[in-house]
Amino acid sequence: MEDVLFDLDQDGTTDYAFWGQMDQNIQFQSQLDNFLLDYNTAGQLSPWSNLGSQSMFPDAQLTFTDLDLQSPGADACADGESSSMDDPLEVTKHSARRLSANPPYKVQRHAANIRERKRMLSINSAFEELRCHVPTFPYEKRLSKIDTLRLAIAYIALLREILMSGCDPKSYVDDCMKSGYKNHTNAIWNTSDLTARLSWIKWD
């Protein structure tokens, strides 16, 4: 049986290569195809995905084969095979051998990994969407996930307060700033994260 190299990069490089066994699991192939389709379209969703990189994962430099070798739960390398691991080609060959050592589990595990990656991609795209809806400084670098969540919570609290007040948003915030937030010291939104950004919000 012949191993097939799936190249997930459009440019033909092997940054995201996945070893599978072509004729073993048709369903797995279609899942992988779906993943590739989503992979290509997802790259257009995020303004941060393409910054300075051809890859959807600008920071990631691991290949699937690398991950297979480096993952904490991965099987230990067979005796006497570690000496050839400096050669990338040998690494992929080695990985392919390990895959074929226990095909059903390996194929299922890789399919699960791909699904998990897809799931994380969808979560990340939701974070990107959320980042577009929270106030940020013009010069600010990308918010972290946790900062995005905290800022969103505070921002929603502020918007709710504005709605409850019935005031014009801009004048409400101006009033808050003039009074030094003295009347809003217990407000959930009165965090340094949000209040510092309020002056940058275009309320019109």
Partner DNA sequence: TAGGCCATCTGGTCCT
Partner DNA sequence: AGGACCAGATGGCCTA
Give the count of beta carbons closer than 10 Å to the beta carbon of residue 162.
19
Are residues 19 and 5 in contact, defined by beta-carbon separation less than 8 angstroms?
Answer: yes
Q: Is 71 in the site for DNA (CB under 7 A)?
A: yes
Between residues 61 and 186, which has the closer beta carbon with respect to DNA? 61
Q: Is 72 in the site for DNA (CB under 7 A)?
A: yes
Give CA–CA dist 151/136, Å, rounded: 9
Task: Please pick, from the candidates 92, 94, 110, 155, the single residue that binds DNA as defined by CB under 7 A.
Answer: 110
Q: Is 177 in the site for DNA (CB under 7 A)?
A: no
Q: Is 67 in the site for DNA (CB under 7 A)?
A: yes
Amino acid at 19: W
Amino acid at 28: F
Stretch that binds DNA, among 88-96, 108-116, 165-173, 195-203 (CB under 7 A): 108-116
Helices (H), 60-168: 64-70, 88-101, 103-131, 145-165
Are residues 23 and 1 in contact, defined by beta-carbon separation less than 8 angstroms?
Answer: yes
Give whole-number Cα distances, 42 to 26, 54, 62, 79, 187, in Å: 24, 13, 19, 41, 37
Q: Is 97 in the site for DNA (CB under 7 A)?
A: no
- Using CB under 7 A as the criterion, what x/- string covers residues 126-165 for binding DNA? ----------------x-xxxx------------------
Binding site for DNA (CB under 7 A): 27, 31, 57, 59-62, 64, 67-68, 70-74, 108-117, 119-121, 124, 142, 144-147
